[in-house]
Structure 1
Amino acid sequence: MGGGGGSMESGEPEFQIAPMIDCLLVLLIFFMSITTASVLQIDKDIVLPVAPDAKKPEKAKVQEGAINVKWDAKAQKGVFSFEGVTYDDTAVLVERLKERLETIKGYRLIIRGDSRLPAVEIQKTMNILANAGYSDLSFSALNQ
Structure 2
Amino acid sequence: MGGGGGGSENGEPEFQIAPMIDVLLVLLIFFMSITTSQVAKIDKEIQLPVASDAKKKEGKNLANEAIVNVRWSTAKQEALIMFQDQPFPQTEPLVDILSGNKAKNPSYRVIIRGDKNLPAIEMQKVMAVIAQSGIDDISFSALNQ
TM normalised by structure 1 equals 0.77
The one-letter amino acid paired with 1:45 is E
The 3-state SS of whatever aligns with 1:81 is: strand
* Aligned position for 1:141: 142
Letter in 2 for 1:32: M
The percentage of counterpart residues that share the same residue type is 47
The 10-residue stretch of structure 1 (43-52 or 100-109) with the greater mean CA deviation from structure 2: 100-109
- Report Cα offsets for 1:85-109 as digits up to 9, x if no partner: 1112211111111122222341211
Tell me whether 1:56 sits opposite 2:56 in the alignment: yes
Inter-CA distance 44–12: structure 2 relative to 1 (3 Å threshold): same
* CA–CA distance in structure 1, aligned partners of residues 134 and 106 of structure 2: 13
1: CA distance, partners of 2:79 / 2:65: 22
> What is the CA RMSD across the aligned residues, in angstroms?
2.6
Aligned twin of 1:116? 117
Between the two proteins, the alignment pairs up a number of residues equal to: 135
Letter in 2 for 1:75: K
CA distance in 1, matches of 2:100, 2:64: 14
Q: Secondary structure at the match of 2:49?
A: coil
Map Cα deviations across residues 7-37 of structure 1 (whole Å, 9 max, x no partner).
xxx685899x58x83x764653453244241
Range moving further from structure 2, 67-76 or 115-124: 67-76
User: What is the deviation of 1:64?
Assistant: 1.6
**Residue 110 of structure 1 contacts residue 137 of structure 1 at CA under 8 Å; is this kept in 2?**
yes
1:67 alignment partner, SS class: strand
Q: Does 1:76 align with 2:72?
A: no
Sort the Cα spacing of 1:80 and 1:60 in 2 relative to 1 into closer, same or farther, 3 A: same
Please give the per-residue CA displacement for 1:25-56, whole angstroms capped at 9, x wherever unaligned: 46534532442412122101000001111111
TM-score in terms of structure 2 length = 0.77
- SS of the equivalent of 2:41 reads coil
Match of 1:65 in 2: 66
- Note if 1:90 corresponds to 2:91: yes
3-state SS of 1:98 partner: helix
> Larger deviation: 112-121 or 78-87?
78-87
SS in structure 2 opposite 1:65? strand
Q: What secondary structure sits across from 1:74 in the alignment?
A: coil
